[in-house]
Amino acid sequence: MLTTDPKIIASYSMEIIDSHCHLDDFFYEGKIEEVLSNAEYVSVTKMVAVGTHPKDWEFYAEFVRNRRNIFYTVGLHPLVAEDEKELDQLPIFLEKEIKPVAIGEIGLDYHRLPHEQQAKDETIEFQKLIFGKQLELAKTNGLPVVIHSRQAFDDTFNILINSGIAGSKILFHCYGYGVPEMEKLKSFGAFVSFAGTLTFRKEQVEPLKVANPDKLLIETDCPFLTPEPHRPKRNEPAFIRATARFAAKTLGMSENDFCNLTHKNTEKFFALE
C-alpha cells in the first residue's frame, strides 16, 4: 500500500493513464509484476511504454502482446542513437500485428553537447538527421509523434513546422520549457505532457497554467523523474497520482476532473481503444 490517507485512497478510484513510461528495466530486474500491480491498485488503467532504441522496441512489441492496457511506441532517442542504420528496423514494427501507437520518443537534446565546435556541429547534424527521418516515417504512416526536446526548442519547433505534420499529431513530452514556448505550441495545436518534475520545479507551474486544457497529458517517464513526495525512490507508474494531484491543485480543478480530462486527451492523441 502506498499510503493510509483516506482522501488519497479515495482518489484511487479515478482512472488515470500514464502517457509515457519505460518498463523494460523493471522487467529485466524481475520487478515488473509488482510495479504493474501497484499501478493497478491506484487505477492507472492504461500505460504507454515509450521506445528509445531497437532493443526496447523488440521488448515492448512482445511485452504488450497479452496486456491490453499497455501500448507501445517505437522511436530512436536523440541521446541513445549511435548509427543511422538503427532506424532500418523501425518500419518492421509498423507492419506488426500489434502496432505501435506513435513514433517516439524522438527529437533534439542539446543539454550535453561536446565542447569542441566540430564535434558539436556533427552531433547536432546527426540528431537532426535521425529526427527528420523518423518524422518522415510518422507522416507517411499517419502516426502521431512523441517529442523529446531539451534546450533545443527553436530547432525542434522549426523542424516540426516544416515537417508538414499537423500540430494535433505532436506531443511534447516532459514539458520543460517556459510560457512563451507553451504559447507557440498552443497556437500550433500541439499536445504537451507534464512529468513528476512539476512537483519540485517551480518554473513549470506557469507553463502548466497557460497550457490548453484540451491538449494536456500527464506522465511519469519512469523510472526517471520521481515526483514529490516519493523522491528519492525510483519512479514507477503508480506515482503518477502524486503528479496528478499537484497539477489538479495548480489548475484549481478537482482531481476527478483532472483525471477525466487527461484520460480523454491521452486516448484521443494516441487513438487508444
Nearest approach in angstroms of CB 244 to Zn ion is: 18
Question: Which one of 219, 221, 236, 255 is in contact with Zn ion (CB under 5 A)?
Answer: 221
Smaller CB separation from Zn ion, 14 or 17: 17
Smaller CB separation from Zn ion, 18 or 221: 221
**CB closest to Zn ion, residue no:** 221
Smaller CB separation from Zn ion, 107 or 207: 107
Written as one letter, the residue type at 69 is N
Stretch that binds Zn ion, among 31-39, 65-73, 210-218, 220-228 (CB under 5 A): 220-228
Q: What dihedral do alpha carbons 40, 103, 263, 240 form, nearest 10°?
A: 50
Q: By three-state DSSP, how is residue 65 classified?
A: coil
219 binds Zn ion (CB under 5 A): no
Stretch that binds Zn ion, among 157-165, 214-222, 243-251, 255-263 (CB under 5 A): 214-222
Angle at 149 between CA 242 and CA 142, to 5 degrees: 95
Nearest approach in angstroms of CB 219 to Zn ion is: 8
Smaller CB separation from Zn ion, 56 or 221: 221
Smaller CB separation from Zn ion, 93 or 255: 93
Q: Are 73 and 104 in contact (CB under 8 A)?
A: yes
Stretch that binds Zn ion, among 89-97, 160-168, 221-229, 249-257 (CB under 5 A): 221-229
Q: DSSP class of residue 215?
A: G
Strand-pairing partners, residue 104, are 146
Nearest approach in angstroms of CB 262 to Zn ion is: 17
Smaller CB separation from Zn ion, 234 or 260: 234
Pairing of strands 16-21, 44-49: parallel
Pairing of strands 16-21, 216-218: unpaired
Burial class (CB in 10 A: 0-12, 13-18, 19+), 2: middle
Q: Which of these, 169, 185, 222, 202, lies nearest to 50 by C-alpha position?
A: 222
Q: By three-state DSSP, how is residue 109 classified?
A: strand
What the block records as the C-alpha cell of 141 is 504512416
- Please report, as ranges, the residues that interact with Zn ion according to CB under 5 A: 221
